[in-house]
């Protein structure tokens, strides 16, 4: 059996079965999702993290590229109770170290008790615990990845749906899932995907009806360019955001964010709308949250489990954000109407700008 070690912050070392050889390091997190492993593994929000699957069998319905959210696997390594050959082969092709035959119940419990933590991974015929500990020693905290957006964003602007007749959206790509773009295209929008460090001129060049900040990895405070864009354009046009995008919008408009103990990662997070009282199940993947929204935003939805903000609306600006992933993929599709609300917001502002007939 190929040797495999996971060195945890604090000195504890776990041993499992090596499925894909290599070394890695990153922030150790877990997901409670029992389906959607293809979507999770290709979600850019897992950049610089080591993903633990709490569900015991990963890979029982194969690997299909049409379910991918991006063109590569983003976690630095993968831990599971049992990985099928299909998933192990896929991870091997991607060069992502993988370990199974772990007691993932213990791993999840450690993360819940101690919080998301640094870890080091070593897998191979001749590796030792020391190799994993060396990786741990070199691991940086998530907040120290100050330019993580560069690892997950497009390099140049890319337009999708140029022949569509609907709303023009400038999507600032901080690590956007492909299904967000698809959800907008399905509603006849034209989507201009811009780099995470786009500037005012980049946005003005596409003259969008709405500025949309995507999901992505890392500390929202490190996305200074996206924060600046929100501050520049929020008075002139609608602003929307998903996940990291909500946090960036809050930072831009005077709110504050904070790191969560172990975050929300899964497909069964309950969210209540404070006005209607409606509860929906949501897909989530984030380790930071809005602490205080500030005077320009109001909390409209909260997580049923811990009361963290799940939805923000602008007080005097046209702003709508969600902490969860309305596009699901994987997960329940209870909240797809978010995209209709975003585009309607842009349409409403456009109609208000048209002068009335004399």
Distance of CA 47 to the CA centre of its chain: 9
Query: Per the annotation, does 244 bind a ligand?
Result: yes
Could you say which of 74, 145, 286, 325 is catalytic?
325
Ligand-binding site membership of 49 (annotated): no
243 a catalytic residue: yes
φ/ψ of 12, rounded to 5, equals -70, 135
The answer to whether the annotation marks 178 as part of a ligand binding site is no
**Residue located via tokens 């034209």:** 190
> CA-CA distance, 48 to 23, in Å (whole number)?
13
Q: Is 294 assigned to a binding site? A: no
For 31, 50, 60, 89, 300, the CA distances from 85, given in Å and listed in that order, are 21, 20, 10, 6, 44
Annotated active-site residue in 38, 48, 69, 327: 327
Token code pair at residue 30: 């877990």
327 part of the active site: yes
Contact 97, 75 (CB under 8 A): no
User: According to the annotation, is 61 in a ligand binding site?
Assistant: no
- Say if CB 289 and CB 323 are below 8 A apart: yes
Residue 23, H or E segment: strand 22-31
DSSP-derived 3-state class of residue 281: strand
245 is annotated as contributing to ligand binding: no
> 47, 119, 243, 251: which is the annotated catalytic residue?
243
Query: Nearest-CA neighbor of 78 among 116, 117, 36, 21?
Result: 21
Beta-bridge mates of residue 246 = none
143 marked ligand binding residue: no
Sign of CA dihedral 335, 340, 343, 348: negative
The conformation of residue 37, written as its DSSP 8-state character, comes to: H
In whole angstroms, what separates CA 318 from the centre of its chain?
Answer: 23
Q: Is 214 annotated as a binding residue?
A: no
Cα separation, 143 vs 340, in Å, equals 33
Answer positive or negative: Cα dihedral of 288, 291, 293, 299.
positive
Catalytic residue list: 243, 325, 327
- Binding-site positions for L-glutamine read 45, 216, 218, 244, 247, 285, 287-288
């Amino acid at each position: 059996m190929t040797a495999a070690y996971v060195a945890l912050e604090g000195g504890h070392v776990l041993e499992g079965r090596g499925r894909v050889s290599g070394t890695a390091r990153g922030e150790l997190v877990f997901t409670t999702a029992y389906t959607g492993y293809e979507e999770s593994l290709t979600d850019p929000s897992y950049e610089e993290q080591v993903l633990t699957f709490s569900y015991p069998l990963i890979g029982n319905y194969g690997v299909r590229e049409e379910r991918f959210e991006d063109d590569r696997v983003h976690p630095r390594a993968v831990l599971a109770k049992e990985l099928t050959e299909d998933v192990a082969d896929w991870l091997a092709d991607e060069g992502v170290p993988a370990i199974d035959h772990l007691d993932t119940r213990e791993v999840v419990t450690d993360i819940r008790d101690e919080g998301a933590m640094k870890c080091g991974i070593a897998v191979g015929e001749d590796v030792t615990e020391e190799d994993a500990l060396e990786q741990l020693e070199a691991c940086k905290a998530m907040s120290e990845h100050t330019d993580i957006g560069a690892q997950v964003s497009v390099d140049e602007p890319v337009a999708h749906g140029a022949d569509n007749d609907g709303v023009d959206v400038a999507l600032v790509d901080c690590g956007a899932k492909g299904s967000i773009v698809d959800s907008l295209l399905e509603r006849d929008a034209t989507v201009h995907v811009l780099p995470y460090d786009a500037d005012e001129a980049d946005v003005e060049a596409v003259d969008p009806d709405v500025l949309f900040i995507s999901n992505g990895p890392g500390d929202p405070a490190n996305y200074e360019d996206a924060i600046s864009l929100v501050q520049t354009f929020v008075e002139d046009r609608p602003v929307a955001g998903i996940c990291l995008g909500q946090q960036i919008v809050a930072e831009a408009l005077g709110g504050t964010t904070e790191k969560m103990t172990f975050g929300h990662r899964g497909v069964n997070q309950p969210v209540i709308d404070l006005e209607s009282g409606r509860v929906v199940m949501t897909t989530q993947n984030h380790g930071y949250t809005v602490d205080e929204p500030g005077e320009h935003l109001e909390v409209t939805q909260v997580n049923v489990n811990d009361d963290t903000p799940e939805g923000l609306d602008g007080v005097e600006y046209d702003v709508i954000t969600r902490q969860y992933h309305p596009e699901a993929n994987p997960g329940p599709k209870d909240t797809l109407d978010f995209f209709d609300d975003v585009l309607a917001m842009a349409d409403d502002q456009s109609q208000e700008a048209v002068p009335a007939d004399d």
